[in-house]
Structure 1
Amino acid sequence: MDIGIGLPNTVPGTEGAALTDWARRAEDAGFSTLGTIGRLVYPTFDELIALAGAAAVTSRIRLTTSVLLAPLHSNTALLAKQAASLDRLSGGRLVLGLGLGGRDDDFAAAGVPTKGKGHRLEEQLAEMKEIWSGRPYGDGGAIGPKPVREGGPELILGGSAEASFDRVARLADGWIMGGGTPEMFAQAAAAVDAAWQKAGRDGRPRKLTLAYFALGPDARAQADAYLLHYYGFLGDMAQQIAASAAINTEMVKAYAAAFESSGCDELIFVPTSSDPEQIRLLAEAIA
């Protein structure tokens, strides 16, 4: 199983220089990918722009939106162009993880309805693939640049419902769980595999998941300060999310072992702080 690390693009107070420094250090530490969390109404860095900054200072590490909320982007052609630009800029390292989103304020701010967002995502996927195929759209030709991989960047979709698993099987390369236990992952992963087989797809879908972490002497306070604020809209569930963060080496190792046993291909540990020392601590914990 690959082990990735998130960029602190959602951690309030993070500066641009901290993001690019984080990206360099993460690559040097040997992590498989840099992940980003997507949200509109929060003081976050946009995922594609944050990863473009990371791409400029790295050469090997994958760049994963884990996940970008596609239905918030009403201009699908522009989204396809931005994704292809990042993919080409990074030499084909983009993994485009897409999800539906669940916060009404994000949709209100974007001026798009929440109703029908699953259908909207499927329309977007079809349109983006058409664009990435190089189809001419006018006198200027295709909407470029052309992605490095034929057909477009690797597509990973989130979601925990049967409709989401079916969408993965028909339209994507893999699936990502946005949070939960290894047992929850194993159950959902089996459903994804079943949908994949039912759709007659060859091979197997790549399956990923996320887990929050905070390490060091103030780990518990650090995790609580960030996660209780970020997930405050969920009420009591925010406490559960904060409590699940890996706050010591033993928890990091246990999560890694349990998710690997449940069939996970890549586990992305998401930081709750932009202190670069967290990269070293996590690398040592998984060594």
Structure 2
Amino acid sequence: MDIGIGLPVLRPDPGLSIVDWARRAEERGFASLGSTDRLVYDNYEPLTALAVAAGATTRVRLITTILLAPQRANHALFAKSAATLDRLSGGRLVLGLAPGAREDDYRTGGVDFPRRGRLFDALLETATRQWQDGGDIGPRPSTPGGPPLLFGGFTRPTLRRMVTHGQGWIGGAQGVEKFRSLVPAVRQAWRDAGRAGAPRLVGTAHFALGLDAPQRLHDSLTSYYTSGTFTTESIEAGLASPEAVANEVAAYAESGCDELILFPHGGGLEQVELLADAVGW
């Protein structure tokens, strides 16, 4: 199983360099760098943050985990932005996409929340066609056909989008048991669609390590998950010790996960070192 680390993009410390973080993560052997998405929150915009990380690295994949795709109302411009990052990074971009469930993000962005599913489907049609055909809009992405797409969520439309456009599925950070319970439906949808091979399965988790880790993690997750169906599960699934990280990594690997991306909450550059140590590198 590949292991990635999230960039410090949630309530970011202006004194903590994404460049330094990305370089150290690559040096310590992480397979990917992740960046998550909100509008009504103090966080860096995902593609911008990953572009900074791309310039500081040469090997790691750059993954949006996840990007709220329907909020990108100009579909051709979104496709152009993603193709640009894919080209500039040498084909390292992976797009994890989902509609999201927080209405305030859509209300503030002037995007119709009830129509987000239809907007998502329209974006996918435009983007995949543009990446494949090019036409008058460039650049062409380095990855033939465009960046690999992963889809987040638990609904039938999620599975439909995955088997139509994607290479796999990305689970929310509600713990390994939740992940394990959803994998059979993902694999069955893949088989029912007649797709070859198997879907790529990506998990996500939250962590904080070192001094005051439990309190930092709890405060950060409580701020981030202010409401929603999976608020309690997400907070309780946070990992605040090396032993908890090691156990969760082993459990995800056993569940069939292909890649686990762990997102930091508080602390400084030492979090990269502490996470690498916790997974046994």
Tell me which interval the TM-score lies in, with the shorter structure as reference length. over 0.9
Show the counterpart of 1:243. Answer: 236
Q: Secondary structure at 1:116's aligned position in 2?
A: helix
Evaluate the alpha carbon distance shift between residue 16 and residue 144 of structure 1 in structure 2; reply closer, same or farther with a 3 A threshold: farther
Unaligned 5+ residue runs, structure 2?
none
**Quick check: 2:217–2:238 contact (8 Å CA) kept in 1?**
yes
2:169 alignment partner AA:
W
**Quick check: 1:170–1:196 contact (8 Å CA) kept in 2?**
no
What is the percent sequence identity of the aligned residues?
A: 44
Show the counterpart of 1:204. Answer: 198
Show the counterpart of 2:279. Answer: 286
Aligned length: 280
Question: Which runs of 4 or more aligned residues in structure 1 lie more than 6 Å from their structure 2 counterparts after TM superposition?
Answer: none
CA distance in 2, matches of 1:169, 1:16: 42
- 2:28 maps to 1:2: no
Alignment of 1:79-228 (within 5 A): 79-136=78-135, 141=136, 143-228=137-222
Evaluate the alpha carbon distance shift between residue 239 and residue 166 of structure 1 in structure 2; reply closer, same or farther with a 3 A threshold: closer
2:86 alignment partner AA:
D
CA distance in 1, matches of 2:15, 2:75: 27
**Quick check: 2:175–2:233 contact (8 Å CA) kept in 1?**
no
**Quick check: 1:132–1:151 contact (8 Å CA) kept in 2?**
yes
**Quick check: 1:27–1:61 contact (8 Å CA) kept in 2?**
yes
Evaluate the alpha carbon distance shift between residue 241 and residue 186 of structure 1 in structure 2; reply closer, same or farther with a 3 A threshold: closer
Show the counterpart of 1:21. Answer: 20
Q: How much does 1:116 deviate?
A: 2.7
- 2:269 maps to 1:276: yes
2:250 alignment partner AA:
A
CA distance in 1, matches of 2:14, 2:138: 30
CA distance in 2, matches of 1:60, 1:37: 20
Query: For each residue in 1:84-133, what CA deviation from the matched residue of structure 2 results, as whole angstroms up to 9, or x when unmatched?
Result: 00000100000011111111111011111111322221221111011111
Q: Secondary structure at 1:52's aligned position in 2?
A: helix
Show the counterpart of 1:254. Answer: 247
CA distance in 2, matches of 1:190, 1:60: 31
Show the counterpart of 1:30. Answer: 29
Query: For each residue in 1:167-202, what CA deviation from the matched residue of structure 2 results, as whole angstroms up to 9, or x when unmatched?
Result: 211221110011223222122111111111111111
**Quick check: 1:14–1:274 contact (8 Å CA) kept in 2?**
no
Query: For each residue in 1:124-181, what CA deviation from the matched residue of structure 2 results, as whole angstroms up to 9, or x when unmatched?
Result: 1111011111342xxxx2x111111110001111011233122211221110011223
Query: For each residue in 1:236-258, what CA deviation from the matched residue of structure 2 results, as whole angstroms up to 9, or x when unmatched?
Result: x6454333211111111111111
Evaluate the alpha carbon distance shift between residue 123 and residue 254 of structure 1 in structure 2; reply closer, same or farther with a 3 A threshold: same
Show the counterpart of 1:75. Answer: 74
Q: Secondary structure at 2:100's aligned position in 1?
A: coil
- 2:32 maps to 1:39: no
Unaligned 5+ residue runs, structure 1?
none
CA distance in 2, matches of 1:234, 1:188: 19
CA distance in 2, matches of 1:180, 1:162: 19
Please give the TM-score of this superposition, normalised by the length of structure 2. Answer: 0.95
**Quick check: 1:6–1:34 contact (8 Å CA) kept in 2?**
yes
CA distance in 2, matches of 1:180, 1:195: 22
Query: For each residue in 1:43-91, what CA deviation from the matched residue of structure 2 results, as whole angstroms up to 9, or x when unmatched?
Result: 2111000000000010001000000000011101111000000000100
